[in-house]
Structure formats: C-alpha cells, structure tokens
C-alpha cells in the first residue's frame, strides 16, 4: 500500500478498471470562494493517488477529468454532495455515477446519528482513522506527511465500506430508494452552487 503524490494531473493508466473512491480537499466549505486544492482517488487495490492543484491553477487535468467523467466508472464518496460541487465547479466535469457512504449510512444506520467517516470506519471495518488534519491549510505550498496520510485515508476505506453498506441496504429493502438518492446528488450539488444550499425546496415552507 502506497500514497502517490502528483502535481496538477493524474498520470495515465495508474488506476485499475472499475469503481474509484474520490474525495476532495478545499480551502473551506464555500465552493465558489474556497478553491479546490487536492483530489484524492483510489481504485481500491491498495494505493491512493493525491492530485494537488496550486494556487492559480488552470485545472487542466485531462487524465483525472477523463476518469471522473467516465460514465462507466462508479464513483464512491463520503458526502458526495460537497465533492461533486467542487469537482464540477473547478474541473468542469460531472463526476458520476455516484455511491455515497454517508447517504447509505443514514438510510440503514438509523440507530445512531453518527455518520462521519471515522464512525463508519470504526463500526463497519473495525479500524481507526485520525481526523486531526481535517481543518489544516490545504493551500500551503507544501503538504505535510500528516496531511497526505489524512487525505489518503479519506478514500482508503470506501470500497470496503460500500460492500458492507450495500449488504445492509439490500437486507432492509432500501437499495432502490438509496439509488434514487445517489442519482439525485448531482442535482443537489448544483442547487447548492445556484444558491439553495441552505434551503429545502421540497418542504412546505
């Protein structure tokens, strides 16, 4: 298992066919304001790839964009809503189809309100991850080893967690509604970017 660090694009042909786990690191939580700094991606075979974008980047990353935009590749996320918005806004591609472990967790782990990645990794896989670097400066000229390890850990477990969560969704008869939620997430991300981030347009109010 290794963490590979790249500048501005993913090298060609470093990922095996099939689903890829994807995550992003940005300067903050406001997509239009807080630039995309890192995209993490893994094919689930043991390695993680981090693509760092410098301040002022043109985000011209043809290899990475080709993988993210490939409609034949399922993309695994934890809280896909945020990552989809960041990727579409900065890289200009729709990184779908989608499986979101946070949505899946909320549909089947109704016995808890703890749906963070750390909670899921601990319960579903019996492993532990650190979130200490979550709020660090991802736009710094150099990323520390701790930052790189944190970023890699955000995609390291998603393939295995998806297997567990799919089993639970099927067991509880909720796979169909989960899939409908996953299919809607790109639209939800676009609503966020268009100004409805804090509004539920489906509510009565």
Q: In angstroms, rounded to a whole number, what is the distance separating the alpha carbons of residues 93 and 65?
A: 7
In the prediction, which pLDDT does 1 show?
Answer: 79
- pTM listed for this prediction: 0.95
Report the chain's mean pLDDT, rounded to a whole number.
Answer: 96
Q: In angstroms, rounded to a whole number, what is the distance separating the alpha carbons of residues 102 and 69?
A: 22
Q: In angstroms, rounded to a whole number, what is the distance separating the alpha carbons of residues 3 and 117?
A: 19
Domain-located, residue 84? yes
The answer to whether the beta carbons of residues 19 and 158 sit under 8 Å apart is no
Q: In angstroms, rounded to a whole number, what is the distance separating the alpha carbons of residues 89 and 105?
A: 27
Q: In angstroms, rounded to a whole number, what is the distance separating the alpha carbons of residues 23 and 41?
A: 7
Domain-located, residue 125? yes
Residue pLDDT, tens place only, 60-102 = 999 999 999 999 999 999 999 999 999 999 999 999 999 999 9
User: How many beta carbons lie within 10 A of that of residue 161, not counting itself?
Assistant: 22
Domain count of the fold of the chain = 1
Which parts of the chain have pLDDT scores under 70? 133
Domain-located, residue 65? yes
The whole domain housing 150 covers 3-196
Domain-located, residue 201? no
Residue 78: give its domain's CATH number: 3.30.420.10
The answer to whether the beta carbons of residues 89 and 31 sit under 8 Å apart is yes
In the prediction, which pLDDT does 118 show?
Answer: 95
In the prediction, which pLDDT does 116 show?
Answer: 95
In the prediction, which pLDDT does 135 show?
Answer: 75
Domain-located, residue 143? yes
Domain-located, residue 72? yes
Domain-located, residue 104? yes
DSSP string, 98-144: EEEHHHHHHHH-TT-S--SHHHHIIIIIS-----TTTTS-TTSSS--
Domain-located, residue 39? yes
The answer to whether the beta carbons of residues 43 and 157 sit under 8 Å apart is no
């Amino acid at each position: 298992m290794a963490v590979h660090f790249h500048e501005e694009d993913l090298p060609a042909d470093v990922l095996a066919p099939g689903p890829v786990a994807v995550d992003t690191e940005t300067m903050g939580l406001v997509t239009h304001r807080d630039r995309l700094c890192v995209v993490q991606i893994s094919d689930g075979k043991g390695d993680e790839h981090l693509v760092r974008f410098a301040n002022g980047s043109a985000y011209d990353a043809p290899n990475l964009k080709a993988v993210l935009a490939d409609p034949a590749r399922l993309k695994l996320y934890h809280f896909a809503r945020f990552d989809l918005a960041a990727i579409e806004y900065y890289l200009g591609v729709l990184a779908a189809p989608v499986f979101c472990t946070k949505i899946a967790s909320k549909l089947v782990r109704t016995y808890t309100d703890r749906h963070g990645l750390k909670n899921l990794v601990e319960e579903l896989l019996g492993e532990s991850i650190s979130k200490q670097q979550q709020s660090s400066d991802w736009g710094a000229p150099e990323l520390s080893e701790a930052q790189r390890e944190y970023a890699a850990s955000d995609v390291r477990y998603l393939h295995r967690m998806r297997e567990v969560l799919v089993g639970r969704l099927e067991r509880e008869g909720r796979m169909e509604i989960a899939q409908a939620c996953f299919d809607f997430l790109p639209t939800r991300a676009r609503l966020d970017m268009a100004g409805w981030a804090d509004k539920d347009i489906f509510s009565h109010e």
